[in-house]
Chain A
């Protein structure tokens, strides 16, 4: 087990271990720790994907430069590649002699591979295209006339973006966010390759389910499966209800 965490003090899985240890039932520990660890990884990954995806979608939509299509294709590649191939690529990039591996060692003094940070990177890379695609489609649908109207009313570019563009693209962006969240939560192949299956360190829920089922331990697998189904259902349900509440007023209530 590698001793250097990445980044060292930001999030500490030991806290989750202590919390869980208070509970006498060992089953709860086997179930609870992967869930908490998964949520931690997924929340960090989704936050990065959200900011990066929205920013890049807007940037690449409004700017034109040589090689833009190549960059876009590279960003979308993890969506069509088998996760194990993405994982292998990350393994090479972040390995001891890979360019990003050397960089992280220089910046943080440790390896990122086989820490929870590696799981974050794998989840983020795989979930990014979903966020990017949704955000881009949402921005494309925004009425350019309304943005222009805002400009003639005295709004600068930043104000136009935050008061017109973003609110109008919000439903699509939010759908992308939920897709990215659930995809990051379910990430298996790439995570296994770069973060491994270290209980309490990098063992996420999909990992725990697979290895529990493999060893015939259904008393661990079933609660994990149920929890995952509930979390995913909750995310989609929340999206549906939120969209309906927030947007019914100007999309459905037409006057005769």
Chain B
């Protein structure tokens, strides 16, 4: 379970965030420029909020009171970038194995076959990202993130770049993936195509100089 309650100042407005996700699919649906990607980046540690706290299964990822701000590498959060950010100079195989921790005694390829099988990318192993189609790139990005055994998966507009036919297929795959991995998924989107996946949808409330993404009016989660 992830609990997020923080405030982040952006050039044009202040972002207020207050929600919790359990093993479900949460969709953050809002127009462009409402701070969706910023929320994901604050969760995984690529950006730092001004104040608040972020907890993942009782682990403190960020807390302004306790002055804790774990770096992205220690958060255990999978992040699928909008453009996938595959490592262009590595083969698909090296991409997928990048985040696997090498531990003595256990082979590093242990989980690989199952993940590849599920993603249907076994035949792509020796290719480079530039040789992949959009759908293939996304599957590689998903496999790469899942190989690190994340406690939660964040996806930035996962279906936006795909055509309609592929979109339906990926939506199905994401649903199956969620069922198989049993971890919270947070998706952000500006169109309705991802909303069908949602167990829960959160929409922003636009104020004069702030945007708030809150589940409840009262600050239940923020109380320590």
| B-contact 0/1 string along A32-68, CB 8 Å cutoff | 0000000000000000000000000000000000000
Q: Are the C-beta atoms of A151 and B128 separated by less than 8 Å? A: no
Which of A149, A151, A152, A254 is close to B130, meaning CB atoms less than 8 Å apart?
A254
- Which residues from chain A contact B86 at a C-beta distance below 8 Å? 146, 149
Smallest CB gap from A167: residue in B: B89
| A9 part of interface (Cβ distance < 8 Å) | no
Q: Are the C-beta atoms of A151 and B73 separated by less than 8 Å? A: yes
Which of A153, A249, A250, A254 is close to B98, meaning CB atoms less than 8 Å apart?
A153
| B-contact 0/1 string along A140-167, CB 8 Å cutoff | 0001011011111111100000011001
| B25 part of interface (Cβ distance < 8 Å) | no
| B44 part of interface (Cβ distance < 8 Å) | yes
Q: Are the C-beta atoms of A149 and B73 separated by less than 8 Å? A: no
| A253 part of interface (Cβ distance < 8 Å) | yes
Q: Are the C-beta atoms of A143 and B89 separated by less than 8 Å? A: no
- Which residues from chain A contact B132 at a C-beta distance below 8 Å? 255
Which of B44, B131, B133 is close to A152, meaning CB atoms less than 8 Å apart?
B44
| A13 part of interface (Cβ distance < 8 Å) | no
Q: In the complex, how many residue pairs between chain A and chain B have their CB atoms under 8 Å apart?
A: 72
Q: Are the C-beta atoms of A251 and B130 separated by less than 8 Å? A: yes
Which label, helix, strand, loop or mixed, suits the secondary structure of the B interface?
loop
Q: Are the C-beta atoms of B77 and A152 separated by less than 8 Å? A: yes
**For the side of the interface on B, what is the size category?**
20 to 34
A154-B73 contact, Cβ under 8 Å, with A146-B88, A168-B89, A250-B89: yes
Which of A148, A251, A254 is close to B72, meaning CB atoms less than 8 Å apart?
A148
**Taking the nearest CB of chain A, how far is it from the CB of B141, in angstroms?**
8
Which of A154, A251, A254 is close to B148, meaning CB atoms less than 8 Å apart?
A154
- Which residues from chain A contact B35 at a C-beta distance below 8 Å? none
CA distance A155 to B75 in the complex (A): 11
CA distance A254 to B44 in the complex (A): 32
Smallest CB gap from B77: residue in A: A152
A151-B72 contact, Cβ under 8 Å, with A253-B130, A255-B131: yes
Q: Are the C-beta atoms of A155 and B98 separated by less than 8 Å? A: yes
| A-contact 0/1 string along B78-104, CB 8 Å cutoff | 110101011111000000001101000
Q: Are the C-beta atoms of A249 and B87 separated by less than 8 Å? A: no
Which of A148, A167, A253 is close to B46, meaning CB atoms less than 8 Å apart?
A148
Q: Are the C-beta atoms of B71 and A149 separated by less than 8 Å? A: no
**Taking the nearest CB of chain A, how far is it from the CB of B83, in angstroms?**
7
- Which residues from chain B contact A150 at a C-beta distance below 8 Å? 87, 98
Q: Are the C-beta atoms of B85 and A153 separated by less than 8 Å? A: no
CA distance A154 to B98 in the complex (A): 9
Among A148, A164, A251, A253: residue with most chain B CB under 10 A:
A148
In residues 217-256 of chain A, which contact B (Cβ within 8 Å)? 249-251, 253-255
Q: Can you list 30 A-B pairs with a CB-CB distance of less than 8 A?
A: A146-B86, A148-B46, A148-B72, A148-B85, A149-B86, A151-B71, A151-B72, A152-B72, A152-B75, A152-B77, A152-B79, A152-B145, A154-B73, A154-B101, A154-B148, A155-B73, A156-B73, A164-B87, A167-B89, A168-B88, A168-B89, A249-B128, A250-B89, A250-B129, A250-B130, A251-B130, A253-B131, A254-B131, A255-B130, A255-B131
* Residues of A that sit less than 8 Å from B by CB: 143, 145-146, 148-156, 163-164, 167-168, 249-251, 253-255
| Known interface pairs A151-B46, A253-B131; 12 further A-B residue pairs with C-beta atoms within 8 A, sorted by A's residue number | A143-B88, A146-B88, A148-B81, A152-B73, A153-B98, A154-B148, A155-B73, A155-B99, A250-B128, A253-B128, A254-B130, A255-B133
* Residues of B that sit less than 8 Å from A by CB: 44-46, 71-75, 77-79, 81, 83, 85-89, 98-99, 101, 128-133, 144-145, 148
The 5 closest A-B pairs by CB, nearest first: A153-B99, A250-B128, A149-B85, A145-B85, A151-B72
